Chains A and B, each alone.
Chain A
Amino acid sequence: MTESWISCEEVVERLVDYLHQELDNHTSAEIERHLERCHDCFSRAEFERRLRERIARSGQQEAPERLRRRIREMIDHF
């Protein structure tokens, strides 16, 4: 049985799609295997993953009180 080995260049090229779970199962599994044995690619993936978590948090922002009031008044008039 032959096992295909994905190169670092291919991992870098597909890393964003991999993190977004946009790859087929076979390619994702190949990348996972590569990350288990390649320190640099593992660090890169970890960095991109953490950055993604921080970016996702930017969607949380305290709504101003005047907006909350505006919405309450609007709903009162529905």
Chain B
Amino acid sequence: MATSTRHDLPVASPQERKDQFEKQVAHLMDRLYGTALRLARNPDDAEDVVAETISNAWKKLDQLDDCAHMEGWLFRILHRTFISQWRRRQCRQDKEVELEPESGDDRFSLFEKLHQPFLLWWGAPEKEFINTLLQEDIGKAIDHLPDAYRVAIVLVEVEGYSYEEASRLLGLPLGTIRSRISRGRCRLQKALWQQAHDAGLANCCSQPPGTRGGDV
């Protein structure tokens, strides 16, 4: 019954198995690299994360019970690969995020900067702002987040993990994940606002940053 819908790798010959693995990896390569780049922040490190992920995945391929689950399985390996590298790095570096006090940036809201009451959503400046955002601006804003916020944001906002899954992956309490997502989102919005303002794109808002709650 259930086995008839399974896509087992072991039924294939070793070469077929390898070809199948290569094909699936090639198909997912842009997303694997994109996620690794958001996590690692620079192309060289991202490429190393992807390469280590593929190597780890091949070693563990027998543990994959159904080829249809390959995508989720590969991404979990990628996250674990990055996180173990990241933890090693954190041990050598400071723990600034844990010790960082709450600031005005943690309450920043782009919507509050842009929204004008009485305008309907489809004619509103906040919609205009979203439409003018470039994908590279968003990437840049994520890259500028402190490590701990960035990793939580990538897992939850980019990869769609639940708070509980992110908590398990990172080995952190649920409350810490919730707080990092909330603060990370505010900081991300602040960075987007700053970028838009620097590029002269935030002219739909009449006041400069720092004058309507939160400071730059």
Q: What are the interface flags for B118-155 relative to A under an 8 Å C-beta threshold, 1 for contact and 0 otherwise?
A: 00110010110010010100110010000000000110
* Residues B54 and A75 in contact, CB atoms below 8 Å apart: yes
* Residues A16 and B182 in contact, CB atoms below 8 Å apart: yes
* Residues B126 and A22 in contact, CB atoms below 8 Å apart: no
- Per the 8 Å Cβ criterion, residues 37-78 of A in contact with B are 39-40, 42-44, 46-48, 50-52, 54-64, 66-68, 70-72, 74-75, 78
By a CB distance below 8 angstroms, the chain B residues around A66 are 47
Interface of chain A, helix or strand or loop or mixed? helix
By a CB distance below 8 angstroms, the chain B residues around A22 are 162-163, 178
* Residues A56 and B29 in contact, CB atoms below 8 Å apart: no
- Report if A59-B31 is in contact (Cβ < 8 Å); known contacts: A51-B130, A67-B47: yes
* Residues B159 and A59 in contact, CB atoms below 8 Å apart: yes
Closest chain A residue, CB of each to CB of B185? A16
Which residue from B54, B138, B178 sits with its C-beta under 8 Å from A55?
Answer: B138
| A17 at interface, CB cutoff 8 A | yes
Interface of chain B, helix or strand or loop or mixed? helix
* Residues A74 and B32 in contact, CB atoms below 8 Å apart: no
* Residues A54 and B162 in contact, CB atoms below 8 Å apart: no
* Residues A71 and B50 in contact, CB atoms below 8 Å apart: yes
By a CB distance below 8 angstroms, the chain B residues around A47 are 110-111, 114-115, 121, 126-127, 130
| A26 at interface, CB cutoff 8 A | no
| B156 at interface, CB cutoff 8 A | yes
How long is the Cα–Cα vector from A52 to B153 in the complex, in angstroms? 10
By a CB distance below 8 angstroms, the chain B residues around A43 are 111, 115, 121, 124, 126
| B21 at interface, CB cutoff 8 A | yes
* Residues A78 and B162 in contact, CB atoms below 8 Å apart: no
B63 to chain A, nearest CB (A): 16
- Chain B residues proximal to chain A, CB less than 8 Å: 18, 21-22, 25-26, 29-35, 37-38, 43, 47, 50-51, 54-55, 58, 110-111, 114-115, 117, 120-121, 124, 126-127, 130, 133, 135, 138-139, 142, 153-154, 156-160, 162-163, 178, 181-182, 185, 188-189
A-B contact pairs, 15 of them (CB 8 A): A20-B156, A22-B178, A43-B115, A43-B126, A47-B110, A47-B121, A48-B111, A51-B130, A54-B138, A58-B135, A59-B38, A62-B30, A63-B32, A63-B33, A72-B26
